[in-house]
Amino acid sequence: YPEFTTTEPTCGVGGSITVTTVADFYSFDGGTTWTTSPTATNLAPGSYPIRIKSASGCISNTSYDWMYEFHSPAPTYTSTPPYCGNGGTISVTSTDPEFSFDGGITWSNSPIATNLPEGYYEVMTRNSVLGCTSYSVYVYLYENFQPSPYFTVIQPTCTTAGSITIT
Residue 91, SS3 per DSSP: strand
Dump pLDDT digits (tens) for 33-86.
999 999 999 999 999 999 999 999 999 999 999 999 888 889 999 999 998 888
> Can you give the pLDDT at residue 156?
87
Q: Which amino acid is at 11?
A: C
Share of the chain above pLDDT 90, in %: 69
Residues in the chain: 167
Residue of 70, 74, 71 lying closest to 124 (CA atoms):
74
| Alpha-carbon span 19 to 6, nearest angstrom | 9
Q: Which of 51-55, 110-114, 163-167 has the lowest mean pLDDT?
A: 163-167
> Can you give the pLDDT at residue 150?
83
The predicted model gives 137-147 an average pLDDT of 86
> To 5 degrees, how large is the angle CA 105–CA 108–CA 110?
145
Dump pLDDT digits (tens) for 130-141.
778 999 999 999
* Position 31 confidence tier, pLDDT thresholds 50, 70, 90: very high
CB atoms within 10 A of CB 123: 25
| Alpha-carbon span 19 to 5, nearest angstrom | 6
> Can you give the pLDDT at residue 158?
87
| Alpha-carbon span 88 to 119, nearest angstrom | 10
CB atoms within 10 A of CB 32: 9
